Amino acid sequence: MSAPAAAYDESATPRRVDTPSVDQERPTQPEGQVDAADERRPTFWRRFPAASAVALYVLLRLSGLIILAVFAQRAGADFWSLLHSKFDAIWYVHIAEDGYDSGLVNDHPEAHSTLPNLPFFPLYPGLVAAVAAVTPFSTPVAALIVSWLAGLVAAWGIYAVGTHLASRTVGLILVALWAVLPHAVVQNMAYTETVFTALVAWTLYALLRRQWLTAGLLCLVAGLARPSASTLIAAVGLTALVAMVRRQDGWRPWAAAVLSPLGYLGYLAWIGHRLGRADAYFYMQEKYWRIGFDGGVSTLKALKQVLTQPVPLSYYVSTLLLGLAVVLIALLVLHRYPLPLLIYSIAFFLISIGTENYYWAKGRYLMPAFALLLPIAVGLAKSRRSTMLTVFAFLVLVSGWYGTYLSLIWKYSP
């Protein structure tokens, strides 16, 4: 069996990434088996190993929020409004309260913009509206509840992927790295990043275990969360195609391939019906929001600015993260990581750099591509504990500082 197929063969012995190559056969303990080190842990953590990943995620994100709260107080800013009353968060809250526009002009009397709100996919505002309807909380608070709970589910899913591929240590480190990304403050805002990443993580986990129906259904739901779900659809579809060509798993890969794009295509079809033209979503994005796909022309122009003239800090951070993403993609390919992770990571990077304008937000766009962090997680897992603690202490401070900059100083969306 070739490397990519073996890497997500449910019948094969689960692999561990003890060295950079993830597909090399080696004698390892089965996934979930408790080793000698785990036997020394308290009973609860042994029975619920993912709880440690979720707890670590909460601790790291709480650290970032404390940093933001301290500086918000010193600046005289309302800490909570920073999380639910800025930029995209305003749009999602308004959609949850008042629904979608009927045309290409925002027709809500209290809207903060005349732009149409139709580009914002319905899953997150729908969940927010549901929570607000069944709880005593206001819509902005419900939006934060959804984001925070989704963050826990995302951390669990990321841990599951890292553990399946390598070890529990790698799973924990992968969660920790995702929690301290430069734009990680968005994970605690009324944004869609956590909801989408949770669906991505569990979809990829299902693909790695060849649970085709689960992967197809989760991808269907993810297609209602963000337009970048097209990258996840590509991962499911191409992975299923490989299985079809090899005549593996019968009809299930076919079902996954059919199910995966239905949510995404369904929302595009609904917008087309609402606006009376088949290409309504893409027309609206290009004509009104100035967010089309230009193949990277806009990104290259912004990169030239970064290299030739002074630009805001967010431009430098996006440049650093895009450059790091290129290196990490190369490592994923060279170390032969499983096919679903490769397809998703590469497709996500290409769509991020190919989308025009908003160069300062490119780093945030990459946040759901957590699989890019796997080579770093594997490398850190081999380091000394003191080294690891030093690295994460530094990353917590940098993430908290940059999150504060984005929230209090930077005037545009993170």
74, part of any domain: yes
Q: Hey, how many other C-beta atoms are within 10 angstroms of the C-beta on 315?
A: 18
With cut-offs at 50, 70 and 90, classify the pLDDT of residue 110.
low
Output 360 or 12, whichever has higher pLDDT. 360
pLDDT tens-digit profile of 75-84? 999 999 999 9
For the cut 60, the answer to whether the pLDDT of residue 309 exceeds it is: yes
pLDDT tens-digit profile of 196-240? 999 999 999 999 999 999 999 999 999 999 999 999 999 999 999
pLDDT tens-digit profile of 363-382? 999 999 999 999 999 999 99
8, part of any domain: yes
pLDDT tens-digit profile of 45-59? 566 788 999 999 999
44, part of any domain: no
361, part of any domain: yes
For the cut 50, the answer to whether the pLDDT of residue 29 exceeds it is: no
Quote the number of domains for the chain. Answer: 1
Collapsing DSSP states into helix, strand and coil, what is residue 187?
helix
107, part of any domain: yes
239, part of any domain: no
193, part of any domain: yes
CA 55/CA 44 separation, integer angstroms:
13
With cut-offs at 50, 70 and 90, classify the pLDDT of residue 42.
low
Range of the domain at 295: 3-23+49-209+266-408
CA 72/CA 66 separation, integer angstroms:
10
Q: Hey, how many other C-beta atoms are within 10 angstroms of the C-beta on 376?
A: 17
* pLDDT attached to residue 41: 59
63, part of any domain: yes
Mean pLDDT along residues 90-99: 93
DSSP codes of every residue in 263-285: HHHHHHHHHHHHHTSTTHHHHHI
- pTM exceeding the 0.75 threshold for the entire prediction: yes
